[in-house]
Structures are given as structure tokens and as C-alpha cells.
Amino acid sequence: MAVAPSLPTVPPAMERPHFIGIGGAGMSGIAKILAQRGARVAGSDAKESATAAALRELGVTVHIGHAAAHLASDATSVVVSSAIREDNPELAEAAGRGIPVVHRSDALASLMDGRRPLAVAGTHGKTTTTSMLAVSLRALGLDPSYAIGGDLDEPGSNAHHGTGEIFVAEADESDRSFHKYAPEVAIILNVELDHHANYASMDEIYESFETFVGRVHEGGTLVISADHEGARELTRRVRASGGGPRVLTYGAAEDADVRVLDVTPHGLTSEVTVRLAGGGELAFAVSVPGSHYAHNAVAALTAGAAMDVPAEELAKALGTYTGVKRRLQLKGEANGVQVIDSYAHHPTEMTADLEAIRGGAGEGRVLVLFQPHLFSRTQELGTEMGQALALADASAVLDIYPAREDPIPGVTSELIIDAAREAGADVRYVTDRAAASEAVAGMARPGDLVLTMGAGDVTELGPEILARLTR
């Protein structure tokens, strides 16, 4: 695999960028790559964090809090995500001074120029699959650049400027920003209705994904699930439109080009057997639990092979992947109880993680501390969230984490709890965070697995539960 050609590594607008919300997963990754390429990067975030500290070690200036004075006099651009509000003082200062405002997706797209982009899209599983590719390609010595929506093993490990020609990126559909990318190979893991503030129907979702597929390079490849109905419908639409990229499907379905023949669980790991598109079988290990993670690994294998990485070598390298923060991440063990952190916040993700953990729990029980994420998502999917929690032996539900949203009248965690109880779940509503940790620790006994689940700050309660288990 070749080394990336000698190119200007920093676009002129990115020579002195200022990031508003630099501590976010997507923003910090782009800032890191730019700093590694020699840009003088600065930014601000609402609070201090390990990510901010990791950026400072790269020479990035990170301000805490938002103020017009943080914007340097020689800033060449201001980088924002869709979460930044119009009344942000730094954004207002940029407008007043005529400094170009660049969306995060445009900044990331500019970093891919001159390289071989591999973009990972889908409603669920993007971070895991992107991470699998980044880790395995690095293990093969290909030194890819990558930008991931989560840290691999330490703060700041969500991105890297590599010397190799491949650039692996997580492609976010939530605000249609993945329309900015032009990948050589695109992965679509699944297609479901989510992000209700931006999409009103499945037709809008399909149209958005079709636009993304239309951005694939001429002669490029689309790798897409053969098992997920939304992905199959998208495949039908893409093929019916004529032209477009080569389509390679993967999954357990009989008509899959790369077919998953078997997934054998071994505690919190799995062994996967696949039949390759060109014929022949291949077996390899996946060091994370659950069938859905195994299928993510097969998507990564298929995409890597489409970029001329030998499948046998890539399969072996995929076994070196041990997870990413917040994706079934073991936080610790106390008194025989394991505490695991899950980022799952959509019913499909919740179900997949609970089924995966159930497979590795043995005789132990699965206990969940769940924090709903976003009022709009709870309004639309609260019933399904409650039904997913019925897969746990017992659960506690916190108040909704609002993130960027204002409350919606009548939308509370009780929507989820009522649905869970109707589905036969043992569930309680806990509004006090300290009481929640105490309640879950009090329920646990040796052999149990405890999941802190949700996309908000519920992750912070894992260590508290572990501390209470030792008392």
C-alpha cells in the first residue's frame, strides 16, 4: 500500500482555525489532525476535560468557556458543528470581523483531499466499525489517517494524521453532513429513522442516504448490509436508479455477497466464519461480544478488501481490536460485579447491546442504569426504548439528558418506564443521580453485569457504582 503523495497538508483556511466546542468527539478529532499537520489550532469548550488536556499536549490553545475575546486576531476560520447556536459570542465575533465560518464536515472533507477516503455511515455502529478499520489497518502497518466519533483507548485517540494513503472517517447522517464527503469506498451498516429534529420520515432518510451514495467516486464501492431491511430497501433504490458504485452486500442473508456463515460466542468474544465474495471461507476472532459487533467486523473486512487490502491479513488484524470507549467498555469489577458502559441510546442499539451482554453473562443477571437522550428521540421512540429494557433483569431510568434540546411538554422518562412495565420489565424511576448509583449497586450481587447505558453523562456513574459496591 502506497504512502500518500506529497500534498499541501493544511488548506489555507485551516492554517489558524478556531474551533467552537473543540472538546466534542468530532471537533477534537479534526483539531488533532490539523495540529499534527502543522496548523496553529485554537478553540473553546464549555468545560475542562481530558480531551482538552490531550489537545493542549499537541500545542492546541484551548479556552474554557465561550467569549468573543477567545477568537485570536489572526484566526483564518471558525469551525463549528450543528450543535453551536447562533448566539454564541465567538460565532458573533467571527461574523462581525468577516472571518469565514466552516462547518465541521467541510473541514473534515478538506483533510481527505488527495487520499483514499473510506467513509462509514449508518444509523448505528459507525464508531465501532470505523475504529475496527483504524486499528486493523494500523496493525498491518498501513498507517491510515482516521477520524472517529469516540476514543479508542485514551483521550485524544479518536483521530490520527497518518502517512498512508487511506483516510477512514465516520460519516454522520444526523445533520446530512455526510453529503460533503466523496469516498472511494462507503459502508452503510443500517438505515433507520432517527434524528427526528432533522428528518420527518423514512423517505427523507432514504433520500439523504441516496445522496451520500451518489457521492462515491466513479469506480468506487458501496458496502451495505444484506440483513437490515432499511439497508435492503436502499440497495433496491440505488440499483434501480442505474449507474452508481459497485455494490457489495454482507450479512447472514442467503443472497449476501459476503455471507456470514456463523458467529460463535465465547464469553465476551466471538469467532466469525464468512464466505468471501470471490469464494472461499475465512474464520477470524472478534474481541468484543455480540452478533452485531461481529457483523460490523465483516463490514470492515469487506470494505478493506475493496480497497485492495488482502482479506486474510485484514481478518487477522481485526482480532487486535478490543473496543472503543463507551461501546460495551468494561469500567471495572468489584465484589464479583462487572460494570460496563454502553453508548446505546436508540432502541435498536439498546437491544443489540443487551443481547450481546446477555450472551456473556452466563448465570449472572443483567442490570441497567439507563439515561434517555434527547426529548425528541424519547417522544418518538420512548415505547421502543421501554420494550428494549425488558431484556434486562432489572433497570433504573434517569431523567432525560437534554443535550442541545429544550424540553417538550409531556415528554419525560415516564414514557419509557410505562412501556417497560407493560412489556413485563422490572424497572424503577430514579431522578437523583446519587440515589441511582446506590440503587443499582444495592441490586447487584456477585456474577451480575451492570450496564450504564445512554449517550449523555450516565457514563460518569460507572465509577460511582463501583465505589459503592466496595463499601
Report the catalytic residues: 126-127, 170
Strands 427-429 and 337-342: unpaired
- Is 129 a known ligand-binding residue? no
Closest CA to 58 of 177, 131, 127, 161: 161
- Is 124 a known ligand-binding residue? yes
Residues 6+ apart with CB under 8 A from 286: 269, 270, 271, 272, 293, 294, 297, 318, 319, 321
Under 8 Å between Cβ of 398 and 433 = yes
- Is 316 a known ligand-binding residue? no
- Other beta carbons within 10 angstroms of residue 9's beta carbon come to 17
Burial of 68 (0-12, 13-18, 19+ CB in 10 A): middle
- Is 378 a known ligand-binding residue? no
Closest CA to 296 of 326, 251, 341: 251
33: which 3 cell numbers?
Answer: 489532525
Separation between Cα atoms, residue 369 and residue 352, nearest integer Å: 16
* Amino acid at residue number 38: G
Residues 6+ apart with CB under 8 A from 358: 366, 391
- Is 163 a known ligand-binding residue? no
Closest CA to 74 of 61, 87, 86, 59: 61
- Is 128 a known ligand-binding residue? yes
- Is 228 a known ligand-binding residue? no
Binding-site residue numbers for ATP are: 122-128
Binding-site residue numbers are: 122-128
